[in-house]
Amino acid sequence: MKKDEKVSSIQMLFLLVTTVTVTGFLFVPSITAKFASRDGWISVAVGGTLFGIIVALVCTKLGLYYPDKSVVEYAPELVGRFGGKLIGLLYIFFFMHTNAIIVREFGDFLVTAFLPETPLLVFNSIVVLVAAYAVYNGMEVLCRMNQFLFPLFIAAFSFIVFLLTENISFDNFLPLMENGVKPVIWGSMVPGAWRGEILLMLMFLPFLNQPREAGKTLITAVFVIGFFLTLTAATSIAVFGPLLTQNMVFPVLELARYVSLGHFLERLEAVVIIVWVAGVAVKVAAFYLAAVLGTAQWLNIKDYRPLVYPVGIFILLYSAALFENSRELVDFLATVFAPYAYFFELIIPLGLLAVALIRKRGGQKQ
């Protein structure tokens, strides 16, 4: 295990923002619009952010007890060998499963919107292959690559939003909270789960060159992610209205397709999709790295590299076997995913933190 690899807080921030936003902004607007209709953006902005901050605080607090270890390594120390290993295994499974879902989302999206005649497996295997290459080269390379791409993501995002300003009508937000707060809260479950993906920090904290700044990094990440996701959700509601939005599978894609620059540059969604592909590669690589690192630590292997290819093949096969059709995937994301993710993002870390607090009380505080 290459513990000497170090990344800066800003690199970690970028990595987390890319990781969460890139799939979030594809699915979240339509799912929240389904629950909260025209108030979907409030769900994303307020509910998701609140949940994200809680996860950030818990993860940081927990991680800082062991600033040079990942959750898979310190869980056995906290709750005993058997329980700890079990928790480690659960997390490894969570990372692999989530990654398989991401890969599937990616492939499904490209087949639906981009090259419909190409088999799903081609997209999936290529993105896993690219991610494997990144993982093989380690955390530093992954962060550097993301840092290089980040301005590109911002550019593509602004491209969509700014060119659509003339089509935005703020009337679509009215009336605010027509049906009370309840739908808004329900709507915020899914964006909350997405925001909670910053729990990757449980695995990546040892890579930070200044672990003290982890909390600040995470909370900044939550706000930056919140900004982007809210902007996306709000833009699609403002442009298409809540009723069209909630029936679209990928509102952001529709936004990109709707962009027109003086009736000359139109239909440029391919460019946006391509930039998005780069983002997904980063996300897949991040979860992939977490899974591989976790497995190596769980098995007490020094170097994780031999595991890269087996884990990759597992993720690839799993992603192909997960869902029957594309609606099943969206349905999973809208209903099952939130409680499932909450379990890993909040409940387990909270439990571990409680144990840590009890154990360490009066003990040394680093």
Partner 1 sequence: MKKKVIAFILVLSVSLCPGCWSRREVEDLAIVTAIGIDRMILDGKEKSKLSVLVARPSQLGGQQAKATAETNADWLVSEVGDTLYEAMRKIYRRSPRNLRIYHNEMVIIGEDSARAGVQDILDYLQRHKDIRLRTWMFVSRGDAGDAMKVLPEFENMLSEEISEILVKSTPAISDTLAVDLRRFSDALVTPGWDAVLPVIRTINPREATGRKREEKEAGQTIVLEGLALFRKNRLAGFMAPEEVTGFLYIIGETQRGAITLEHKSGNGSPSQIAVLISQASSEIKPVFKEGRLEMEIKIDAEGDVVEVQGDTAVGSPDVIKEMNREFSQKVKSIAEKSLETAQKKFKSDVFGFGKIVHQKYPDYWREVEQDWYEIYPEMPVTVKVDAKIRRTSIIADPFQIR
Partner 2 sequence: MFKKWKKIIKKAFVKPHNESQAIGRGESKETVSTDLDKNMRHLKAVFDRCTDIIFREFEAAIGGGVKIAMVYIDGLVNKEMLTEDLVKTLMYDVASLNSSASVSDPAGYLSRRIIAFTEVKLQDNLLDAVNSVLSGETVLFVDGVSKAFALSTQDWVQRAVTEPATENVVRGPREGFTENLQTNYTLIRRRIKSSRLKFETMKIGAITKTAVSIGYLEGIVNNKIVDEVRNRLQRIDIDGILESGYIEEYIEDAPMTVFPTVQATERPDKVAGGLLEGQVVILVDTTPFALLVPVTFPQLLQASEDYYLRWPFASFIRFIRFVTLNIALLAPPLYIAITTYHQEMLPTPLLISIAAAREGVPFPAFVEAMLMETTFEVLREAGVRLPKAVGQAVSIVGALVIGDAAVSAGLVSPAMVIIVALTAISSFSLPSYFGAFSLRILRFPLMALAAALGLFGVMAGLLALLIHLCSLRSFGVPYISPLAPTSWRDLKDMFFRMPWWSMFTRPRMTGSKEPARQDYMQKPRPPRRRPGGGSGK
* Binding interface with partner 1 (CB under 8 A): 112-113, 115-119, 122, 125-126, 129, 167, 171, 174-175, 178, 239-241, 243-244, 254, 257-258, 260, 263, 266-267
> How many Å apart are CA 127 and CA 278, to the nearest integer?
9
Strand ranges for the chain from DSSP E: 260-261, 265-266
> How many Å apart are CA 27 and CA 290, to the nearest integer?
23
Q: Is 119 left (phi over 0), alpha (psi -120 to 50) or beta?
A: beta
CB nearer partner 1, residue 89 or residue 130: 130
Residues 123-142 contacting partner 2, CB under 8 A: 123, 126-127, 130, 133-134, 137-138, 140-141
By the rule CB under 8 A, 120 interacts with partner 2: no
By the rule CB under 8 A, 145 interacts with partner 2: yes
CB nearer partner 2, residue 146 or residue 235: 146
CB nearer partner 1, residue 225 or residue 238: 238
The two three-digit tokens of residue 125, written as one number: 């295997």
> How many Å apart are CA 283 and CA 24, to the nearest integer?
11
Mention every residue, 6+ apart, whose C-beta is less than 8 A from residue 310. Answer: none
Residue 78 CB, nearest distance to partner 2 (Å)? 34
Residue located via tokens 């992610």: 225
**Looking at this protein, which amino acid is placed at residue 51?**
F
CB nearer partner 2, residue 209 or residue 335: 209
By the rule CB under 8 A, 313 interacts with partner 2: no
Q: What is the DSSP string of 262-300?
A: TTTEE-THHHHHHHHHHHHHHHHHHHHHHHHHHHHHHTT
11 binds, among partner 2, partner 1, none (CB under 5 to 8 A by kind): partner 2
* Of 227, 256, 261, the residue nearest 239 (C-alpha): 256
Out of 26, 28, 238, 278, the residue judged to bind partner 2 by CB under 8 A = 278
Residue 290 CB, nearest distance to partner 1 (Å)? 22
- For residue 306, say if its preceding peptide bond is cis, omega within 30 degrees of 0: no
264 binds, among partner 1, partner 2, none (CB under 5 to 8 A by kind): partner 2
Size of the site for partner 2 (CB under 8 A): 36
List residues near partner 2 by CB under 8 A: 8, 10-11, 110, 114-115, 118, 122-123, 126-127, 130, 133-134, 137-138, 140-141, 143-145, 147-149, 264-268, 270-271, 273-274, 277-278, 281
